């Protein structure tokens, strides 16, 4: 692999760094930091990013076909992450649509896909991944949802091992996604989807929709069986709760 790795001890956000330099990057380049002073999470939230044992990693990807595919892409990233963690014998993993990674039903890792560019034209994508590797109690107390980390795993990979494996797996999977789209990942998604067949509440703005999860469609929208039949919902402003 000829992709570059920009390594920082301290940085505001690895995602922000790659977005700022996107004109000079090639697909597969990554940025890793030991500490983020302004780590970003989904929906404008902060990603708590202390020094120590966590992985903060972003990858640049140039998507020539435009932005339409970005929802599906974030599900591919979740599949890649699970495959890498499985390769280190980490078990008990699942994905909560669209791309939160759970270990023993508590959040282990998050994915934030951000972009520069306009629909239909070349699009600069940055895929940010944060993995809790070993969380201290005081760090964990700052997180506003149930979390897990890798410290109980039988074999804990080093940060370098994890980042290298992720860079390779993401490169392979995103290349496949560009060629074949999300259909190449539907079987893998079904294996990791924790809500498949479950009753859920879907929060859409201030509306709350009850339904049973029926997996995803070829665009990455979630399918819910509701009173009205099977309906598809796009990512973004939706959050999912067990009913
Ligand atoms: C989420 O809210 O679930 C997504 C969290 C994504 C965090 C990662 S850490 C590396 C990269 N840089 C950031 O500022 N955020 C992402």
State yes or no: pLDDT of 103 exceeds 70. Answer: yes
**With 0-12 CB in 10 A as exposed, 13-18 as middle and 19+ as buried, what is 194?**
middle
Complete edge-to-edge strand list for the sheet that includes strand 5-11: 5-11, 30-36, 55-63, 123-131, 106-117, 100-103, 93-96
175 is in an annotated binding site: no
Cβ–ligand 1 distance for 54 under 6 Å, the answer no
Q: What is the dihedral of CA 33, 46, 192, 51, to 10 degrees?
A: 30
Is the CATH number 3.40.50.920 carried by domain 5-192?
Answer: no
Can you tell me the distance from the alpha carbon of 126 to that of 61, in angstroms, rounded to the nearest whole number?
Answer: 6
Q: How remote is the CA of residue 37 from the centroid of ligand 1, in Å? A: 12
Residues of the chain with CATH 3.30.930.10: 5-192
State yes or no: pLDDT of 9 exceeds 70. Answer: yes
Question: What's the whole-number mean pLDDT along residues 184-208?
Answer: 90
**With 0-12 CB in 10 A as exposed, 13-18 as middle and 19+ as buried, what is 159?**
middle
Cβ–ligand 1 distance for 132 under 6 Å, the answer no
Question: What's the whole-number mean pLDDT along residues 20-49?
Answer: 94
Active-site annotation, residues: 42, 107, 241
pLDDT above 70 as % of the chain? 92
Average pLDDT value over all residues in the chain? 89
pTM above 0.90, yes or no: yes
Q: Which of 82, 104, 89, 93 is nearest to 157 (CA)?
A: 89
Cβ neighbours around 48 below 10 Å, total: 19
Question: What's the whole-number mean pLDDT along residues 45-68?
Answer: 86
Question: What's the whole-number mean pLDDT along residues 159-164?
Answer: 93
Residues of the chain with CATH 2.30.30.100: 199-242
**With 0-12 CB in 10 A as exposed, 13-18 as middle and 19+ as buried, what is 12?**
middle
Question: What's the whole-number mean pLDDT along residues 156-161?
Answer: 90
How many Å is the Cα radius of gyration of the chain? 17
For residue 28, what pLDDT is reported?
96
State yes or no: pLDDT of 68 exceeds 50. Answer: yes
15 is in an annotated binding site: yes
Predicted confidence band of residue 54 (pLDDT cuts 50, 70, 90): very high
State yes or no: pLDDT of 222 exceeds 50. Answer: yes
Q: Is the peptide bond preceding residue 84 cis, with omega within 30 degrees of 0?
A: no
Q: How remote is the CA of residue 212 from the centroid of ligand 1, in Å? A: 29
**With 0-12 CB in 10 A as exposed, 13-18 as middle and 19+ as buried, what is 137?**
exposed
Question: What's the whole-number mean pLDDT along residues 91-98?
Answer: 91
For residue 236, what pLDDT is reported?
46
Q: How remote is the CA of residue 169 from the centroid of ligand 1, in Å? A: 18
191 is in an annotated binding site: no
Between 22 and 117, name the one with better pLDDT. Answer: 22
Select from 11, 18, 129 the residue to mutate for testing ligand 1; criterion: most ligand atoms less than 8 Å from CB.
129
State both tokens at 198.
């479950």
Between 137 and 85, name the one with better pLDDT. Answer: 85
Continuous segment of H or E residues that includes residue 16: helix 14-20
In this predicted model, what pLDDT tens digit does every residue of 229-240 receive, in sequence order? 999 998 644 556
For residue 173, what pLDDT is reported?
97
For residue 243, what pLDDT is reported?
59
Can you tell me the distance from the alpha carbon of 39 to that of 29, in angstroms, rounded to the nearest whole number?
Answer: 19
- Cα 99 to its chain centre, rounded Å, is 5
Q: Is the ipTM of this complex over 0.85?
A: yes
State yes or no: pLDDT of 143 exceeds 50. Answer: yes
Between 5 and 206, name the one with better pLDDT. Answer: 5
For residue 163, what pLDDT is reported?
94
Complete edge-to-edge strand list for the sheet that includes strand 207-216: 229-233, 222-226, 207-216, 199-204, 238-242
The CATH code of the domain at 199-242 is: 2.30.30.100
Continuous segment of H or E residues that includes residue 134: none
For residue 237, what pLDDT is reported?
47
């Amino acid at each position: 692999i000829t992709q570059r790795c920009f390594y920082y001890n301290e940085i505001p956000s690895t995602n922000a760094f790659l977005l700022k330099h996107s004109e000079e990057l090639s697909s597969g380049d990554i940025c890793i930091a030991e500490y983020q002073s302004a780590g970003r999470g989904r929906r404008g939230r902060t990603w708590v990013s202390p020094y120590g044992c966590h992985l903060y990693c972003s990858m640049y990807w140039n998507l020539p076909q435009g932005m339409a595919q970005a929802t599906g892409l974030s599900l591919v990233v979740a599949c890649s992450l699970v495959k890498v963690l499985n390769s280190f014998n980490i078990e008990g993993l699942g994905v909560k649509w669209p791309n939160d990674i759970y270990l023993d039903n508590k959040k282990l890792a998050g994915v934030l896909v951000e972009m520069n560019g306009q629909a239909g034209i070349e699009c600069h994508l940055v895929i940010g991944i944060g993995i809790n590797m070993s969380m201290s109690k005081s760090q964990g107390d700052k997180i506003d949802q149930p979390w897990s980390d890798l410290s109980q795993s039988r074999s804990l990979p080093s940060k370098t091992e994890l980042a290298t494996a992720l860079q390779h797996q993401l490169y392979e999977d995103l290349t496949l996604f560009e060629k074949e789209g999300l259909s190449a990942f539907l079987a893998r998604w079904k294996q990791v989807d924790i809500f498949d067949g479950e009753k859920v509440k879907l929060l859409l703005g201030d509306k709350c929709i009850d339904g049973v999860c029926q997996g995803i469609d070829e665009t990455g929208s979630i399918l819910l069986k509701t009173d009205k039949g099977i309906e598809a919902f796009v990512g973004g402003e939706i959050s999912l709760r067990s009913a």
